[in-house]
Amino acid sequence: MSQPDFNLSESKIAIIGLGLMGGSMALGLRGKCAVLYGIDPHPATLELALSQHIVDYADSDPAKLPSDVDLVILAAPVPAILAIINQLPITISHPCIVMDLGSTKRLVVEAMANLPERFDPIGGHPICGKEKLSLANAERTLYYAAPFLLTPLERTSQRAVSAANQIIEALGAKGKTLNAVDHDRILASTSHLPFLISSALARTTPEDVAPFVGPGFKSTSRLAGTSSSMMLGVLQSNRENVLNALHGMQSQLAEIEAALSAGDFEKLESLLNEAQTKYQSFTGN
């Protein structure tokens, strides 16, 4: 028997993980759904979520979610998302859409594929955020105008796709669909590699230059401020793609080093001009 069409304004939504991403989503969906549940293991986060009326109900235990919740959003680090997926069968008995916000998709989608039939899974990844995590740094407009990538499974219904797109529209984001394999390959270059480059820059820079740090260094090294506990799971779950991206970066650095070492400034200028052109094509600046 098919399920009725999804209607965001009448839906009961649960967000598991009330950090930066989950908290910002809760703020963006507040008043746009019937009921909003929040699940998080940290008591201080739950207290803040309730005192600021970010969610209607909050608890630390996913098992306490009502069985008739319509949509569960998994807004946790990738390893936690994988663990929660394995726990869902014992917490929810009602037919339910499940969407994640994880930064890698292949392992998440594979885990979702093994969920019982009463779950209707779809992968998701909003391309936004900042290095300062936690609910205290959440913003209602964090998702606005940001790409929101969807990675449906073969079993994903049109109802789940509609639900995801209604959420994307409510947040003011821009939806785009691709498969999980392509997602992880692309994000290795556009997100995971930049984090490692920022981290390497921060580690390489001598501490005695701190008084002279300017906006160039700050903007280039900003991602190094991201919690390693969050990024480690991303790097583990996308290891091969990240290694390929790193090898490409090492090759580019070696070419720049060779030109500089040889005093071939004509070659160096050519390399830098090529980089500038590619940057402008990526960013439109």
Domains of the chain and any CATH numbers: 8-178 (3.40.50.720), 183-283 (1.10.3660.10)
Contact between 50 and 58 under an 8 Å Cβ cutoff? The reply is yes
Taking a C-beta distance cutoff of 8 angstroms, is the pair 142, 128 a contact?
Answer: yes
**Separation between Cα atoms, residue 256 and residue 267, nearest integer Å:** 9
pLDDT of residue 85: 94
Per-residue pLDDT, 1: 37
Query: What is the model's pTM?
Result: 0.90
Positive or negative torsion for Cα 166, 67, 61, 59:
positive
- Give the pLDDT confidence score for residue 131 in this predicted structure: 80
**pLDDT single digits (tens) 160-205:** 999 999 999 999 999 999 999 999 999 999 999 999 999 999 999 9
For 215, phi then psi, to 5°, come to: -65, -30
- pLDDT > 70? residue 153: yes
Dihedral angle over CA of 245, 143, 74, 182, nearest 10 = -30
Query: What pLDDT, on a 0 to 100 scale, did the predictor assign at position 63?
Result: 84
Look up residue 204 and give its two tokens. 């390489």
Using one digit for the tens of pLDDT, what is the confidence trace for 28-67?
Answer: 999 999 999 999 999 999 999 999 999 999 999 888 888 8
- Look at the block and give the residue holding tokens 């680090």: 77
Which tokens belong to 82? 């994988």
The 10 Å Cβ neighbour count of residue 228 is 11
Nearest to 147 by CA among 181, 177, 182: 177
Q: What is the pLDDT of residue 88?
A: 86
Q: What average pLDDT score do residues 84-104 get?
A: 90
Q: Which one-letter amino acid corresponds to residue 269? A: E
What is the average per-residue pLDDT within 203-222? 93
Could you read off the pLDDT of 218-262 as tens digits, one per residue? 999 999 998 888 899 999 999 999 999 999 999 999 999 999 999
Interval 78-98 mean pLDDT: 90
